[in-house]
């Protein structure tokens, strides 16, 4: 743990495992509620100096961290692949994506503007100023263990906030590596603090109840996000939540079915399907269903699972045994209710894969609303295809979910694309685009997929308070 600039290793520890091999790859400090409280106190003590530092000075630290992250891209990526499991190429891409947030918010730090407002009184002037919200508590997930840190730390530090972060218990080594980069970049002691723990509940309770914490930012499941938001309510803490998704992927009959199937295969199996914007329900207009399925079946059948360090492998492990059980339960339920299994459908154990948490890349067709996979977020390597006939029907089916994070549309008809874009109740929509994300673009969902936005100029606003000054002259 890092508290007030001091690395603490002489405490209880818990092991970290490689999900591809089951091998223990490290031990990290097992933090307690008392550690979390000390970290919050350190962040509170460091707040005045950091908040009153010039925007240019804060920007310089973030820019230096950006440079260091790029210099250490390979080392960070290899650590990520060992700890989280994703193929090395995907880990390299994530480190670059993570660095982009540092660069973007290094620039945004210098663009936090105020304004003057005319008054009806001749002897009065109004001044509006934006100031840091204060101490921020951050909780990050395991599926993107580097970029989710910088997407929160970047804007918080740029705004002048101080931070206490608890990473996912499955991927603390990546968080430690990121904090060492900030330390090397010259971030003052206490400005960013790291509390690792095997049990997140006591840490979360401190984050939600400590009076010095003025904002909680969380990325994770919707049930946990709701619980944390409720716990923050008595003190009216600011919260931002990036929660679960159940993304529809709509392929209209004027789209090229081969091109669309290739797009689905790339985004659905990215990070072994363990992404909140991963397509869960793939709606294909019936007229092009056969060529779409033929292409997708070929691509899914050709995917090779294994250790992410081997460039021949395109599918990594799931994060743990519980993830394997959830995916298999959904697949078996779908098949028992009439879905057609076109590829995969079982855990992989041959060739040493039994030591890890591997599930075969799976393709299901004829999926219907009665199946679990139609309703539940999967977070695994399963493509579920649902045929449809009518445009109005597919929009209604796509919106028939409590989630509202991401959606995708494939069509060559501009009017149809705009109609669908406007009617879908999702915060992020890719139109013939499987990667509608960037540090420069606002990321976040509607309905039970979250509150607030990360990235873009909206990202720094989440960490700022508006202060009004009325002057009588």
Say how far apart CA 388 and CA 302 lie, in whole Å: 27
pLDDT value of position 148: 98
Give the tens place of pLDDT for each residue, 281-296. Answer: 999 999 999 999 999 9
Q: How sure is the predictor about 9, in pLDDT bands with cuts at 50, 70 and 90? A: confident
Under the banding of pLDDT at 50, 70 and 90, the label for residue 3 is very high
Confidence of residue 146 (pLDDT cuts 50, 70, 90): very high
Q: Is 71 a catalytic residue?
A: no
- Residue 276 annotated to the active site: yes
pLDDT confidence of residue 424: 98
Q: What is the rounded distance in angstroms from the CA atom of residue 62 to the CA atom of residue 99?
A: 10
Mean of the per-residue pLDDT values of the chain: 97
Q: Please give the pLDDT value at position 10.
A: 76
- Spot the catalytic one: 83, 94, 108, 242: 242
Percent of the chain's residues with pLDDT above 90:
99
Catalytic entry in 174, 208, 276, 357: 276
Question: Helix, strand, coil shares of the chain as percentages rounded to 5?
Answer: 45, 20, 35
Predicted pLDDT of residue 11: 79
pLDDT value for 471? 97
Domains and CATH numbers, the chain: 2-243+447-472 (3.40.605.10), 247-431 (3.40.309.10)
Give the Å distances, CA to CA, from 111 to 41, 215, 296, 360.
29, 21, 45, 47
Q: What is the pTM of this model?
A: 0.96
Task: Compute the distance between CA of residue 3 and CA of residue 293 in angstroms, rounded to an integer.
Answer: 53
d(CA 431, CA 396): 18
DSSP 249-297: EEE-TTS-HHHHHHHHHHHHSGGGG-STTSEEEEEEEGGGHHHHHHHHH
For the segment 297-329, what is each residue's pLDDT rounded down to a tens digit? 999 999 999 999 999 999 999 999 999 999 999
Helices marked H in 278-413 — which ranges?
A: 289-301, 321-336, 372-375, 391-399
Terminal-to-terminal C-alpha distance of the chain? 52
Residues comprising the chain, all counted? 473
- How big is the CA angle at 90 (ends 87 and 95), to the nearest 5 degrees? 125
pLDDT single digits (tens) 402-460? 999 999 999 999 999 999 999 999 999 999 999 999 999 999 999 999 999 999 999 99
pLDDT tens for 196-250 read 999 999 999 999 999 999 999 999 999 999 999 999 999 999 999 999 999 999 9
Percent share of the chain, pLDDT over 70: 100
Reported as a pLDDT band with limits 50, 70 and 90, residue 377 is very high
* Tokens 């045929």, residue located: 387
Task: Please count the other Cβ atoms lying within 10 Å of the Cβ belonging to residue 472.
Answer: 8
The predicted structure's pLDDT at residue 228: 98
């Amino acid at each position: 743990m890092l508290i007030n600039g001091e690395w603490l290793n002489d405490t209880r520890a818990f092991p970290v495992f490689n999900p591809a091999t089951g091998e223990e790859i490290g031990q990290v400090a097992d933090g307690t509620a008392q550690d979390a409280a000390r970290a919050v106190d350190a962040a509170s003590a460091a707040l005045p100096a950091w908040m009153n530092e010039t925007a240019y000075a804060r920007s310089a630290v973030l820019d230096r961290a950006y440079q260091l992250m790029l210099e250490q891209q390979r080392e960070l990526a290899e650590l990520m692949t060992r700890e989280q499991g994703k193929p090395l190429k995907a880990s390299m891409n994530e480190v670059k994506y993570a660095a982009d947030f540092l660069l973007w918010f290094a620039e945004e730090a210098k663009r936090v503007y105020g304004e003057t407002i005319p008054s009806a009184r001749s002897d009065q002037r109004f001044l509006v100023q934006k100031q840091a919200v204060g101490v921020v508590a951050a909780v990050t997930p395991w599926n993107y263990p580097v970029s989710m840190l910088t997407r929160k730390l970047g804007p918080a530090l740029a705004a002048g906030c101080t931070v206490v972060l608890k990473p996912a218990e499955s991927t603390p080594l990546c968080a430690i590596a990121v904090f060492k980069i900030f330390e090397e970049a010259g971030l003052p002691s206490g400005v960013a603090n790291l509390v690792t723990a095997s049990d997140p509940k006591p840490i979360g309770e401190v984050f939600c109840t400590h009076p010095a914490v003025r904002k909680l930012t969380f990325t994770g499941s919707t049930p946990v996000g709701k619980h944390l938001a409720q716990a923050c309510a008595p003190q009216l803490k600011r919260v931002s939540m990036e929660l679960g998704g159940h993304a529809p992927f709509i392929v209209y009959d004027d789209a090229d079915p081969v091109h669309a199937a290739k797009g689905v295969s790339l985004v659905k199996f990215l990070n072994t399907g363990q992404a909140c914007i991963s397509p869960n329900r793939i709606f294909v207009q019936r007229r092009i269903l056969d060529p779409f399925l033929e292409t997708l079946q070929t691509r899914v059948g050709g995917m090779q699972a294994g250790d992410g360090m081997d460039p021949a492998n395109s599918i990594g492990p799931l994060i743990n045994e519980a993830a394997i059980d959830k995916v298999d339960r959904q697949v078996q339920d779908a098949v028992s209710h009439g879905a057609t299994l076109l590829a995969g459908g079982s855990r992989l154990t041959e060739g040493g894969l039994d030591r890890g948490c591997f599930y075969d890349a799976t393709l299901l067709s004829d999926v219907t609303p009665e199946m679990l996979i139609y309703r539940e977020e999967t977070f695994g390597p399963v493509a579920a295809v649902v045929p449809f006939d009518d445009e109005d029907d597919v929009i209604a089916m796509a919106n028939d979910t409590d989630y509202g994070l991401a959606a995708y549309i494939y069509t060559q008809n501009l009017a149809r694309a705009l109609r669908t874009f406007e009617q879908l109740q999702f915060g992020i929509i890719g139109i013939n685009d499987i990667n509608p994300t960037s540090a420069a673009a606002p990321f976040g969902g509607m309905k039970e997929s979250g509150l607030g936005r990360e990235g873009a100029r909206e990202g720094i606003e989440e960490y700022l308070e508006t202060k009004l000054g009325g002057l009588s002259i």
